[in-house]
Amino acid sequence: SQKIEQNSEALNIQEGKTATLTCNYTNYSPAYLQWYRQDPGRGPVFLLLIRENEKEKRKERLKVTFDTTLKQSLFHITASQPADSATYLCALELTGGGNKLTFGTGTQLKVEL
């Protein structure tokens, strides 16, 4: 069966450290993968998109890697801050998937002082 798995347990890290979140998928052939941030009571906010032929993408303190052999994406936040505390979602658009996104359940990140 098709699955997108993210760490269901919350990730607690200390301010200034690098947070690394994992997204694993099975039985999908994604054209690209996106990462979103969701705060309580709000809709997701787009952060980064990485295509199947890209290995790494960076934006300010954010870095995403995409390994289609391992079927895994890693999302890194460097120099983390308490304001980075949120739930982070990965989403796949499938090749020929008609524009819809399939989301993981998200990982809650808490950055502590």
State the binding string over 24-53 for other proteins (x if CB under 8 A, else -). Answer: -------xx--------xxxxxx--x-x--
Alpha helices in 1-113 (DSSP H): none
Choose between 60 and 98: whose C-beta lies nearer to other proteins. Answer: 98
The answer to whether the CB of 90 falls within 8 A of the CB of 75 is yes
How far apart are alpha carbons 11 and 110 in whole angstroms? Answer: 6
Strand partners, 23: 6, 73
Choose between 38 and 85: whose C-beta lies nearer to other proteins. Answer: 38
State the binding string over 48-87 for other proteins (x if CB under 8 A, else -). Answer: -x-x------------------------------------
In whole angstroms, how large is the CA radius of gyration of the chain? Answer: 14
Q: Are strands 107-112 and 11-14 parallel, antiparallel or unpaired?
A: parallel
Residues at the site binding other proteins, with contacts judged by CB under 8 A: 4, 31-32, 41-46, 49, 51, 89, 91, 93, 98-106
